[in-house]
Amino acid sequence: MEENNKVIETIGLSKYFYDPIKFQVIKEVDLSINHGEFVAIEGKSGSGKSTLLYLLSTMDTDYEGQLFIHNELVTGQGDAQLAKIRNEKIGFVFQFHYLLLEYNVLKNVMLPGLKFGKYSEKELEQRAMDHLKTLGMDTHALKMPNQLSGGEKQRVAIARALINDPLIIMGDEPTGNLDKKNGDLVFDIFKKLAKEFNQTILVVTHDIDFAKRTDRIITMEDGRIIS
């Protein structure tokens, strides 16, 4: 039973960059994250936090070692399967709220759901509205992304990350680009998701205050996890 509780597990994860010289960014990282945990990865600038997150997200496939998501080995899987895993099991929130400028807020939230195809368009619209309401963004549903403030965009990105009921939400400095007030707001949302919905969350940050308020802090230094 304990085995099934792991959302993400890595064994001996290593990554090298070759340009301009060969150098190891991630060094033999063994890590596991359990269901329902709210985890922060913290560490100095350049310690490899973002790089590690991209590896865990399956977007970066150039690494050594093994990566399991939901106890399934994803290392070595093809582009299409990895895309499917990202679509169904992982929700992303980036520092720079990447929304599709061509679509309105509601459609942005719905898009990964449309790709998944589990719910009908009607149901998805309902679910998207529910998530937007939870995040206090329902009144902005029909706006275009460029009509929103940074904090609002980030909340839309969180709603989008939630649309397929992901196993885990990952964020690379999701509050890094926001002022204190908006950053706190976003943090509170994460906290609430973790507490009320038992949502697994993994966030990279170098905001120590932010990190301290999570359940578990992973500290990185020089490509290694030191605690």
Partner 1 sequence: MNFKLILNIAFHLLKARLKQTIVAAVGVTFGIAMFITLISFMGGLNEMLDGLMLNRTPHILLYNEVKPSENQPLSLSEEYKNHTKFIHSIKPKDRGKSVYNSQSIIKVLKQDKRIIDVAPKVTASVLFNSGTIEISGFVNGIDMLAEDKLFKISDYITEGKIADLAQNNSVIIGIGLANKMLLSKGDIIKITTSNGDLTPLKIVGISEIGIAEIDNVMSYTSLATAQKILGQPKSYITDIQVNLYDKESAVELAKEFRKEFNIDTIDYQTANAQFETGSTVRSIISYSVGIVLLIVAGFGIYNILNMMIYEKMDSIAILKATGFSGSDVKWIFISLSIIIGLTGGIFGLLFGFIFSNIIDVIPFETTSLPTVKTYPIVYNIIYYIIGIVFAFCTTIIAGLFPALKASKVDPVEIIRGK
Q: Which of residues 147-176 bind partner 1 (CB under 8 A)?
A: 160, 164, 172
Q: Yes or no: say if 153 and 99 are a contact pair by the CB < 8 Å rule.
A: yes
Q: How far apart are CA 34 and CA 8, in angstroms?
A: 7
Phi, psi of 222 (to 5 degrees): 55, 35
- Binding segment for Mg ion (CB under 5 A), chosen from 8-16, 36-44, 46-54, 83-91, is 46-54
Q: Which residues bind ligand ATP (CB under 6 A)?
A: 17, 19, 25, 43, 45-51, 206
Minimum distance of Mg ion from residue 42's CB (angstroms): 11
- Binding segment for partner 1 (CB under 8 A), chosen from 3-11, 14-22, 113-121, 188-196, is 113-121
Task: Burial-class residue 202 by CB neighbours within 10 Å (0-12, 13-18, 19+).
Answer: buried
Minimum distance of ligand ATP from residue 135's CB (angstroms): 25
CA angle 19, 25, 27 (to 5 degrees): 140
**Tokens 């399967």, residue?**
81
Tell which one of 112, 151, 171, 183 touches partner 1 (CB under 8 A).
112
Residue type, 200: T
Question: What b-and-e string marks burial along 5-15, b requiring 16 or more CB atoms within 10 Å of the CB?
Answer: eebbbbeebbb
DSSP 4: G
DSSP 19: S
Q: By CB under 5 A, is residue 50 in contact with Mg ion?
A: yes
- Binding segment for Mg ion (CB under 5 A), chosen from 45-53, 137-145, 191-199, 210-218, is 45-53
Residue at shortest CB range from ligand ATP: 50
Phi, psi of 94 (to 5 degrees): -105, 170
19 binds, among ligand ATP, Mg ion, partner 1, none (CB under 5 to 8 A by kind): ligand ATP
**Tokens 């609002």, residue?**
152
Q: By CB under 8 A, is residue 88 in contact with partner 1?
A: yes
Nearer to ligand ATP, 10 or 51 (CB): 51
Q: How far apart are CA 118 and CA 3, in angstroms?
A: 27
Q: By CB under 8 A, is residue 50 in contact with partner 1?
A: yes
Nearer to ligand ATP, 30 or 121 (CB): 30
Task: Summarize as ranges the residues that interact with partner 1 (CB under 8 A).
Answer: 50, 54, 57, 59-60, 79-80, 82-84, 86-88, 92, 94-96, 98-103, 111-112, 114-117, 160, 164, 172
